[in-house]
Structure 1
Amino acid sequence: MSTATRTTAVAEHAERLWDAVTTGDEYAAGDIVVRALGDGTAPESVLLDVIGAVQRRVGAEWAANRLTVAQEHAATAINDRVIATFGYVLQRPEPHRGRITVACVDGEWHAMPARLLSEVLRLRGFTVDYLGAQVPAPHLVAHLHRTGPDAVALSGSLATRLPTAHATITACQAAATPVIAGGAAFGPDGRYARLLGAEAWAPDARAAADRLAEPLPRPQTAHQPLDDLPHLADQEYTLVTRSSGRLVKTVLAGLEERIPAMRAYTDLQRQYTAEDLAHIVEFLATALYVGDGELFTGFLGWTAGILTARGVPAASLGPALDLLEAELRDFPRATGMLRTARTHLAEPAAGSEQPA
Structure 2
Amino acid sequence: MPAFLAERLWTAVLAGDERAAAAVVRQALDDGADPEAVLLDGIARVQGRVGEEWAGNRITVAQEHAATAINERAVAVVAEHPAAAIDPSLGRVLVACVDGEWHGLPARLVAEVLKLRGWHVDYLGAHVPTPHLVAHIHRTGPDVVALSGSLPTRLPTAHATITACQAAGTPVLVGGAAFGPDGEYARLLGADAWAPDARTAADRLERHPLPRPQPDHQPIDDLPHLADQEYTMVARTRPQLVRTVFTGLENDYPAMRGYDETQRERTAEDLSHIVEFLGASLYTGDEELFSRFMLWTAGVLEARGVPARSLPPALDILGRELKDFPRATGILHCATKRLTSTPISVFGGTE
Give the TM-score taking structure 2 as reference length: 0.96
CA distance in 2, matches of 1:42, 1:78: 20
Letter in structure 2 aligned against 1:179: V
CA distance in 1, matches of 2:192, 2:13: 37
Match of 1:260 among 250, 254, 260: 254
Match of 2:231 in 1: 237
Match of 1:225 in 2: 221
Match of 2:78 in 1: 86
SS in 2 for 1:223: coil
Match of 2:300 among 306, 321, 326: 306
Letter in structure 1 aligned against 2:137: L
Contact 2:190 2:220 (C-alpha < 8 Å) held by counterparts: no
Match of 1:339 among 333, 342, 345: 333
Match of 1:327 in 2: 321
**Match status 1:275 vs 2:269:** yes
**Match status 1:65 vs 2:61:** no
Q: CA RMSD in A?
A: 1.4
Match of 2:131 in 1: 138
SS in 2 for 1:34: helix
Match of 2:39 in 1: 47
CA distance in 1, matches of 2:267, 2:245: 10
Match of 2:3 in 1: 11
CA distance in 2, matches of 1:166, 1:134: 15
CA distance in 1, matches of 2:218, 2:69: 38
SS in 1 for 2:341: coil
- Return 5+ residue gaps in structure 1 as ranges: 1-8
SS in 1 for 2:142: coil
Match of 1:98 in 2: 91
Contact 1:344 1:350 (C-alpha < 8 Å) held by counterparts: no
SS in 2 for 1:134: coil
Letter in structure 2 aligned against 1:308: E
- In the TM superposition, residue 35 of structure 1 has moved relative to its aligned partner by 1.4
- In the TM superposition, residue 37 of structure 1 has moved relative to its aligned partner by 1.2
- Return 5+ residue gaps in structure 2 as ranges: none
- In the TM superposition, residue 265 of structure 1 has moved relative to its aligned partner by 2.2
Contact 2:250 2:257 (C-alpha < 8 Å) held by counterparts: yes
**Match status 1:165 vs 2:161:** no
Give the TM-score taking structure 1 as reference length: 0.94
CA distance in 2, matches of 1:50, 1:87: 14
Cα deviation, 1:240-296, whole Å, max 9, x if unaligned, reads 111111111111111011112312322222111111111111100110000000000
Contact 2:163 2:219 (C-alpha < 8 Å) held by counterparts: yes
CA distance in 2, matches of 1:354, 1:190: 20
Contact 2:190 2:219 (C-alpha < 8 Å) held by counterparts: no
CA distance in 2, matches of 1:134, 1:249: 27
**Match status 1:210 vs 2:206:** no
Contact 1:173 1:222 (C-alpha < 8 Å) held by counterparts: no
- In the TM superposition, residue 86 of structure 1 has moved relative to its aligned partner by 2.2
**Match status 1:56 vs 2:56:** no
* Structure 2 counterparts to residues 19-34 of structure 1, below 5 A: 19-34=11-26
- In the TM superposition, residue 180 of structure 1 has moved relative to its aligned partner by 0.3
CA distance in 2, matches of 1:82, 1:338: 42
Letter in structure 1 aligned against 2:136: H
Match of 1:186 in 2: 179
CA distance in 1, matches of 2:79, 2:275: 43
Match of 1:35 in 2: 27
Q: Sort the Cα spacing of 1:294 and 1:353 in 2 relative to 1 into closer, same or farther, 3 A.
A: farther
CA distance in 2, matches of 1:249, 1:88: 49
CA distance in 1, matches of 2:6, 2:348: 25
- In the TM superposition, residue 349 of structure 1 has moved relative to its aligned partner by 3.4
SS in 2 for 1:278: helix
Letter in structure 2 aligned against 1:208: A
Contact 2:171 2:192 (C-alpha < 8 Å) held by counterparts: yes
